Structure 1
């Protein structure tokens, strides 16, 4: 990092600019602590400050997380949603829990690179390799469980993805300078009463704001598939609930529209707590919580065609999908076809949760469907990938080769299932000057009357 760049970052720290939370981290050499840029503590002297692109990089250099600003809980960098290269794809897959489930060889295999290449590229850009990035993520998951649930510490260790209790203890000490029991005792009462497993895991889903929650929940309500999703409550205080197909078992998530701070309140009910990290990552993608609304507004608001729409809806989001394959299949089936497919082939929950009673059929269960069959077969046999680490250009080409997926459907799937922020509207203007935020421009236009 050049001195000039470091000085620019230091200015953000000096002004406690929350716009940069998650975009970088700073550490103080004299205290051994790392923080988010908006940390309210006294600003350290420039000569004592080091900057890191990720929390994992700061941890790898021996710095501990600040107890006051909790830098591990900030929104993720918006850069990983924008970037389609191997580093961006790797970060998205690590967030989805691939390293915890399949190890670094599994991550590298999905990317089509060797483990050495993946290690080298991630370390060069992020200051940490895949193991360190996954370790930082596991530490954060463990802290959430320690502070919000009454689960035994041993159960939390394995639920967070650690392979042993010793590894768990060592990591918590290194990251938080506390034992797991000490970390739990320190926060007693600060995060509200701890819950029993049956009541779910309460979460605060941070975002860098503003956040146009009304428009997001309007869309979720309009698209809700009965039996899989529901939106209840009056506008401004609605709750979105849905079932989730996760690697180790089913789950049910609830998230509130009302934002008490720079976060949304959520609660997760999981058959297997090992799915917590993956479930949170997918919910964040659905709600577009890691977006950078400042960058979007700066680019799109400069165009007279969009200026009024951008100004009218601060923090507009381009929602993704909680289950990319499900969203793609529902796109080609339509609402009525999706309801029929759910009734015929959905996977019932062991016990209904209110109106939520089933998981939407997996692609393998719809390969013989007269409408969704071609797309389901492409997903089931791997010819088309829509997971967080998918190559977006390859996916776009594969979508174009699937019978029954027209240009409009392909664009919607790219925006929502792939989380691509820069998909042009097939029926709209080319507008290359809106890049890399053309999906957001499209959303602004959809929300503009007339």
Structure 2
């Protein structure tokens, strides 16, 4: 394979208006939070890089440089602003929706593949040489895979320093660093502070930043998002899909908590996310966060767990781009106006979701009872992990379910963060008994494709590249009508 695919159509639309650096500077002058995570700016006279909405005094234009990622700014020698914390913003929507090798690489790096398998492992997942991946990432995002993974490790370490009382040495290895010296050097370079100084400077007092003794006690997090967010609609969907034993939604509507088990590379986790309503009165550039807690058996899984929750709740979406396109359609305009920022949720475990899409909720409950791995210590009503594909294939050796789980187990079908969506789609369709509508659901949710039109649905091309979101608007309208 020598040619790289073109970016998904429409994914650059949010930046088309600010591709010119002078226009980007105007976004910085306006402290425009819509572009947080879409680009970063650095100030040559201070050596600091920031998010566009940084509240500090706007620097002079000739002192400002722009970068597509935090890692690119760090690689250029700039350190993170302590005031706006640019490493904590929502990720760029572009990397999550793009179907080309750069988008796939960025998703894999976020999922921790470089930390676990190195650059060589990343290249194998993508089907390209390490040199090709390095060259393409450097050209498009301003940093190679090592620098991108380094920036992510530094952010993970900062979270652990601020929210736990784990010893610094344990945090170093939990964040993915190879040595304490590498950890210390990186923290000093990125934040211009030692780990101890970062810990001492961390906010205190509120539940979202309350330090816990260890990850097993639950790491409190704020999962940031940009723009408006229809949180109730997402929780309604998750409540309707919840499988007893592996997930639950409890509490009154509007103040619910979603909990689920996660199977992760180094262990397991219990994730809890609260239905936090956006702050009132923020209408110019709304945005916010969901409060979450992670109970990890191995702190090395923090980064991966966070990314899987972000995909499940579609927190890196760009609602401005979605609603601008769909709101221009007469059929969708009133729906968008009534519910701006409606999300298209993904999946915390793509393989699990594929099985659930095939067998339905009742079938999934049966599979959990038959083949799910029981927890050593139940966490409330959470008692099991969803069975792995190989276990289902062994217990159910016939039919479409056997074909799907066998293909997932042997890698014939790949649904991980870096999977090629077209290849996965064709592989799924080739399975005996697999229907096109189920494949479309898997593509939209498990693979996070924003532009899926299931067969039989009235989804015109005018809604591209956001047809998955258009269907969410239509389905939400139907559900509320009943």
TM bucket normalised to smaller: over 0.9
**1:304-325 alpha-carbon deviations (Å, 9 max, x no partner):** 1111111111110000000000
* 1:5 is the counterpart of 2:20: yes
**1:215-263 alpha-carbon deviations (Å, 9 max, x no partner):** 0000000000000000000111000000001011111000000146500
Matches within 5 A, 1:435-446: 435-446=464-475
Q: For structure 1, which runs of at least 5 residues remain unmatched after alignment?
A: none
Residue pair 2:459, 2:467 contacting (<8 A) in 1 also: no
Structure 1 residues 276, 221: closer, same or farther in 2, change over 3 A?
same
Question: Paired residue for 2:416?
Answer: 387
Task: Say which of 438, 446, 462 aligns to 1:433.
Answer: 462
* 1:359 is the counterpart of 2:385: yes
Question: Paired residue for 1:194?
Answer: 211
Counterpart of 2:270 in 1: which secondary structure?
Answer: strand
Question: Paired residue for 1:406?
Answer: 435
Q: What's the offset of the Cα at 1:122?
A: 0.1
Partners of 2:327 and 2:24 lie apart in 1 by 25
* 1:376 is the counterpart of 2:405: yes
Matches within 5 A, 1:323-342: 323-342=349-368
Partners of 2:19 and 2:325 lie apart in 1 by 24
Residue pair 1:81, 1:421 contacting (<8 A) in 2 also: no
* 1:98 is the counterpart of 2:119: no
Counterpart of 1:189 in 2: which secondary structure?
Answer: coil
Question: Paired residue for 1:149?
Answer: 164
Counterpart of 1:26 in 2: which secondary structure?
Answer: strand
Q: What's the offset of the Cα at 1:348?
A: 1.1
Q: What's the offset of the Cα at 1:405?
A: 2.0
Partners of 2:210 and 2:441 lie apart in 1 by 41
Residue pair 1:316, 1:440 contacting (<8 A) in 2 also: yes
**1:121-167 alpha-carbon deviations (Å, 9 max, x no partner):** 00000000000000000000000000000100000000001010000
Task: Say which of 243, 248, 251 aligns to 1:233.
Answer: 251
Partners of 2:168 and 2:405 lie apart in 1 by 41
Question: Paired residue for 1:158?
Answer: 173
Q: What's the offset of the Cα at 1:399?
A: 1.1
Partners of 2:110 and 2:100 lie apart in 1 by 16
Task: Say which of 203, 209, 212 aligns to 2:227.
Answer: 209
Question: Paired residue for 1:317?
Answer: 343
Q: What's the offset of the Cα at 1:424?
A: 1.0
Q: What's the offset of the Cα at 1:425?
A: 2.7
Matches within 5 A, 1:24-423: 24-187=39-202, 189=204, 192-197=209-214, 198-259=216-277, 262-368=288-394, 369=396, 370-371=398-399, 372-423=401-452
Residue pair 2:436, 2:454 contacting (<8 A) in 1 also: no
Q: What's the offset of the Cα at 1:34?
A: 0.3
Q: TM-score, normalised by structure 1?
A: 0.98
Residue pair 1:82, 1:436 contacting (<8 A) in 2 also: no
Q: Which moved more, 1:60-69 or 1:185-194?
A: 185-194
Counterpart of 1:206 in 2: which secondary structure?
Answer: strand
Q: For structure 2, which runs of at least 5 residues remain unmatched after alignment?
A: 1-14, 280-287
Q: What's the offset of the Cα at 1:190?
A: 6.3
Partners of 1:306 and 1:427 lie apart in 2 by 19
Counterpart of 2:477 in 1: which secondary structure?
Answer: coil
Question: Paired residue for 1:21?
Answer: 36
Counterpart of 1:423 in 2: which secondary structure?
Answer: coil
Counterpart of 1:27 in 2: which secondary structure?
Answer: strand
Q: What's the offset of the Cα at 1:429?
A: 2.4
Q: What's the offset of the Cα at 1:394?
A: 0.5
Q: What's the offset of the Cα at 1:188?
A: 5.2
Q: What's the offset of the Cα at 1:376?
A: 0.3
Q: TM-score, normalised by structure 2?
A: 0.91
Structure 1 residues 331, 385: closer, same or farther in 2, change over 3 A?
same
Partners of 1:212 and 1:260 lie apart in 2 by 9
Counterpart of 1:308 in 2: which secondary structure?
Answer: helix
Q: Which moved more, 1:438-447 or 1:2-11?
A: 2-11
Partners of 2:141 and 2:303 lie apart in 1 by 20
